[in-house]
Amino acid sequence: MGRTLPTVNQVLEENRAQWSRFYRALRKEDRELLDRLFDGAKYFTAACVYQVHVTPSESIMLAMLLHLEKELQELHRRLGAEAGTEHGVGQGPSLGGANESRGRLYAGRGSERLLLTAGKK
């Protein structure tokens, strides 16, 4: 009889277990970040199911990257709304490119200001 294939969630947890020594070597705040990456990959398990011709680890890593990209897009959208601009990520002028000058965007309040720069140094 054939072997039953594990679910994507099971593979995700197996991958998490495989990285346990790496995880233990991290500082607490870095462990929390790694946990967030694995948790974020869970949002894309349905897409991972359809990508059967690559290794499960590759699907999981891509799902983590996609989750991070979504978070970045949301942050850009919020920064644009806070700055009073009408465009978010992927719309309007970009903050850096081969022929563009260095762009700066400040966000935050008081001493908690974040400076995002783009372009070549």
More confident residue, 105 or 3: 3
- Whether residue 110 is predicted with pLDDT greater than 50 in this model: the reply is no
Share of the chain above pLDDT 70, in %: 67
CA end-to-end distance (rounded Å), the chain: 61
Q: What is the pTM of this model?
A: 0.57
- Whether residue 108 is predicted with pLDDT greater than 50 in this model: the reply is no
pLDDT, tens only, 67-97: 999 999 999 999 988 887 655 444 444 444 4
pLDDT, tens only, 25-47: 999 999 999 999 999 988 888 88
Separation CA 8–CA 71 (nearest Å) = 22
Which pLDDT score is estimated for 100? 39
As separate numbers, helices (DSSP H) first and strands (DSSP E) second, the chain gives 5, 2
* Residue 46 three-state SS: helix
Give which of 35, 38, 33, 37 is closest to 12, Cα–Cα: 38
